[in-house]
Structure 1
Amino acid sequence: MVLTYLILTGSLEAIAIVLAISPGNFSIGFPARPVGNSDIKSGVLSSPSAPNPAPDSASTGLAEGIYLYGQSSKPDEIKTEYFVFEMRQSKVIGAFYLPRSAFYCFYGTSDRTQLNLTVVDSYDGSRSPYSVNLEQYYQISSISENDRRILGICQEAHKQQVWEN
């Protein structure tokens, strides 16, 4: 749990080093490819220890709407990674977060079970390409007001880049 310690102490340089040497569920660059365990940014993103069953909708692609995925099938568990996003015409805007912690906005496209994203660092605004395999997460049907609040912040920040092009 070195990463948890780094998050709590706020050592961004140390976090960056740990993240740089960790293989990940998120791959830099496109096209997307499935990969193993990882953490990005300040620990907001980390992969489950074993792949979860694929949600039914992921095998056929996602319809337009708002989605919540997580490492757990239960929402709002501490130290558990979640991401909420809205899908429109195979384009997405959303956020990765840990409950009661920071969140990172993202935007990009969907390709059936894969999200090809640009993640925006909440602190310095830098952007990094990442890919997420939806089959490695649980789809959660209950979307909270806090999920919608976080999503709304990211939608407002990135709607011109994604939906108004």
Structure 2
Amino acid sequence: MTALPLAASVFSPLQTAFQQNRQRSLAVAIGTSLLTGLLALVTQAPLQASSPLADGQYLYGEAQTADVAGSTYILLQVQQDRVVGAFYQPSSSFDCFHGTVTGQELDLSVVDSYERTSHPFQLALAVDPVPVAGASGVLLPVQIEGFNRLNDLSGSDQEILSTCLADHPL
């Protein structure tokens, strides 16, 4: 047997083993990369899963502008998954509510302003699937079904919200 065929017979299995090892290494590297990406998503998910509404104050109205006579408005303050706010119509009384943001809805107890009785009520949230980058990370734009998001709270809105927060602190 000459040296060349002997070298080929020894190196051929080594080359095959090397190629298999390289393929396994590539698979491990891809798997590790996917796992790292998945872990990054999982660690971000609880922030979005706990409440689709970021902490803050919100105003929604049946009308597309504030202070339209006969239109109903929803005023609320969110802190983590808790919410306090009011339903009102301009130049009329208001009813406070308190509750939680649960998944894609608001689970509320509405307190009748005259009788002081509490009534369960749920409002569906519509989350826009297009994420928006905010100061505290990625936020999903949230609408209350049947209502328009309005930007600014008036002085009257602030007074109503303060009254409700005094009765139902967050």
Give TM-score, length-normalised by structure 1.
0.59
Q: Per chain length, whose mean CA-contact separation is higher, i.e. which structure has more relative contact order (CA < 8 Å, sep 6+)?
A: 1
Is the 1:62–1:112 Cα contact (8 Å) retained in structure 2?
Answer: no
Please tell me the residue identity of whatever aligns with 1:103.
Answer: F
Whole-Å separation in 1 of the counterparts to 2:94 and 2:64: 19
Structure 2: how far apart are the matches of 1:113 and 1:64?
Answer: 16
List, as ranges, runs of 4+ consecutive aligned residues in structure 1 with deviation greater than 6 Å: none
Matched, 1:156 2:161: no
Of Structure 1 and Structure 2, the greater helix share is in: 2
Once the two structures are superposed, the pairs formed by residues 2-151 of structure 1 within 5 Å of their partners are 61-133=52-124, 134-151=144-161
Partners of 1:117 and 1:90 lie apart in 2 by 12
Check conservation: 1:113, 1:135, Cα contact below 8 A: no
Is there any run of 5+ residues in structure 2 with no aligned partner, and where? Answer: 1-50, 125-143
TM-score of the superposed pair, with normalisation by structure 2: 0.57
For residue 168 of structure 2, give the secondary structure of its aligned residue in structure 1: helix
Q: Name stretches of at least 5 consecutive residues in structure 1 with no aligned partner.
A: 1-59
**What is the number of equivalent residue pairs in this alignment?**
102
Report the alpha carbon displacement of residue 111 of structure 1 after superposing the two structures with TM.
2.5
RMSD: 1.6
Residues in 2 aligned to 1:88 and 1:118: alpha-carbon distance in whole angstroms: 16
**What is the CA distance between 1:120 and its match in structure 2?**
0.3
